[in-house]
Amino acid sequence: MSAYAFIFPIFSSNSQSIEEGHYQQEEVFIHQAKGSAEAEVKLLSDQSGNPVMYTSHLISAVCSDGICKPIDIHLYWDLLGKFYRYQTSDEEELTKFDHEPFTEEDHARLHEILSDENSILQDYEVEDLIDTDRKLHSDEIDGVTGATNITFRDASVEGAMYTVYTLWHFINGDVRNKIFAHTKSLLSESLIRYMLQSEKGDYHNFIFNNLSDSQRKKFAPEIISLISSKDIYTPHFAIQQLTDDVLADSIHQAAVLEQFASVPPVVQNSLLARIESQPIYNVGIRALLESVPQLASNQLDRVFLIIGRNKASIDKLNMKALKNLTLQPEKDFSYFAERILDQVSDSSNP
């Protein structure tokens, strides 16, 4: 159950349509899907030259039971080849059985199916999806077509199965690999920065998997700010990208730890695990101490273990903070603070 599926907003047909005119366009390759016409795949970039998404204008036909329906549809993928959305024009509506146009609900459903890269549609031939015992009679075309088998109900729009199947396979087939490979070939400093600064966990992950250690250093500021990302997993992967070098840098370390108090407990725990054996400077100790009153009791052990390992960083301000913590003797943290103070005064005794 990946969090990424929930990050990207689902667009209904009511949302703002994509005005391709606002983008720079560049044809990047021609794709021929199995059994489909050729389609040109273009890269859309913003005015600053940052790649934003890929698009293709698919004009094809979907045939079933001897009847062919034309499809004319604009498709959009994100930079990693993941389906983003589609667009049809009013003149070229998507239709179902008996030329019924798609409803709003149908469009929402279709979008959901096309976005499901794990769809069961990849494991069956299109004929398999039909229940041969149940037929739908068409008045208009004077014929019958099969109803969708119950197992596939969630993977189709009733009456438009061939359309759904064809579109899914075009969108999620080999073209994705080609898009991904193309983006990888474009990787530059600005693209890396752009993707790290986006809100897409997929983009973060992609960059994280393609960074060298020197790049981890160069992009440390962007990586560090991802610790506060709202994505469930990005903060943890970002923390994994912090090298010892980066953490040893006092400015970077301060930027990491000043987020400590405001991130969720699971992220705090990942941070604590990461910095366990790192030298922590005064500012970092201060940030930890400030967060103590809000911490769960099972986190106190680890925080104070770290503080205890970095007694040299307990300056005047930090001493004051520690003493303040002992002013609430009924609290667990008071006990931990006392222990540290004992150790510090011991070591300062001549």
Least spacing, CB of residue 125 vs other proteins, in Å? 9
Determine which residue in the list 5, 30, 296, 312 makes contact with other proteins, applying CB under 8 A.
296
Strands (E), 149-254: none
Interaction between residue 123 and other proteins (CB under 8 A): yes
**Beta strand spans in the chain (E):** 24-32, 38-45, 51-64, 67-77, 83-87, 130-138, 143-148
Could you tell me what percentage of the chain is helix, strand and coil, using 3-state DSSP and rounding each to the nearest 5? 55, 20, 30
Torsion angles phi and psi, residue 305, rounded to 5: -60, -45
236 belongs to the binding site for other proteins (CB under 8 A): yes
Question: Which residues face 125 on adjacent strands?
Answer: none
Q: Rule CB under 8 A: is residue 1 a binding residue for other proteins?
A: yes
Choosing from 21, 47, 150, 188, the residue that interacts with other proteins (CB under 8 A) is 150
Task: Tell me whether residue 52 or residue 307 sits nearer to other proteins (CB atom).
Answer: 307
Binding residue for other proteins, selected from 56, 60, 145, 149, defined by CB under 8 A: 149
Q: What one-character DSSP code corresponds to residue 103?
A: -
C-alpha 152/C-alpha 216 separation (Å) is: 45
What's the closest the beta carbon of residue 266 comes to other proteins, in angstroms?
5
Taking the complex as a whole, how short is the minimal distance between the CB of residue 270 and other proteins, in angstroms?
Answer: 6
Q: Which sign, positive or negative, has the C-alpha torsion 262, 266, 268, 270?
A: negative
Residue 118 in the binding site for other proteins (CB under 8 A): yes
Assigned token pair, 267: 């992220």
Question: Of 72 and 158, which CB lies nearer to other proteins in the complex structure?
Answer: 158
Told to check if 276 binds other proteins by CB under 8 A, we report no
Among residues 54, 55, 58, 57, the alpha carbon closest in space to that of 80 is found at 54
Q: Cβ 218 to other proteins, closest distance in Å?
A: 23
Count Cβ atoms within 10 A of the Cβ of residue 178 and give its class: 0-12 exposed, 13-18 middle, 19 or more buried: middle
- C-beta separation of 292 from 260 below 8 A: no
Site map 39..78 versus other proteins, x via CB under 8 A: ----------------------------------------
- The site for other proteins, by CB under 8 A, has a size of 24
Catalog residues that contact other proteins under the rule CB under 8 A: 1-2, 118, 120, 123-124, 128, 149-152, 233, 236-237, 240, 265-266, 269-270, 273, 296, 298-299, 302
